Amino acid sequence: MTTLTLRRDQTTDRRDLLDLFLIGDDDEQKVQAYLQTGELYVAKDDQKIVGLALVIPGETITSGELKNIAVLPAYQGQGIGSQLLDCVVEQLAAKYQTLLVGTGDADLANIRFYLKNEFRFVGVRKHFFDSYAKPIVVNGIQLQDMVLLQRFLP
């Protein structure tokens, strides 16, 4: 990796990033529904976008929701996701008090990632994945509920 830059992105055509969005959310129909909303943050290796995070307004004016975060497989395990989250937190700390994220109940790697990045459990959305077009299986278990985690911003 040469030079990694992290920043808010207002110029990239988000449709060009669909494959990257689909790493963070398996349901293309759902991704298409929120693709053009919120604030997009990207991690670039030179000119190549290797990671992204999308934050939309939350259910209250003091919270944002991390709708999608993804890093290309070849770049995973290098701390880019955590760096991207740090960038998001730094940029949004003046706007929001909390950042909420939801992930699958059996997605232990994602849950571990969020816990390592200062998120804490705050709730469950029962039967959330019932509305997905295709069943999502993680670690040999079909996802059913979404677990909600929250991080307080500085």
- Each domain of the chain, given as residue ranges in start order, spans 4-152
pLDDT tens readout for residues 87-132: 999 999 999 999 999 999 999 999 999 999 999 999 999 999 998 8
pLDDT band at 2 (very low <50, low <70, confident <90, very high): low
Q: How far apart are CA 134 and CA 66, in angstroms?
A: 23
Bridge partners, 142 (sequence order)? 137
pLDDT at 17 over 60: yes
Q: Give the predicted TM-score (pTM) of the model.
A: 0.93
Q: Per-residue confidence at 56, pLDDT binned at 50, 70, 90?
A: very high
What's the rounded mean pLDDT across residues 139-148?
Answer: 96
Return the CATH architecture of domain 4-152.
Answer: 3-Layer(aba) Sandwich (3.40)
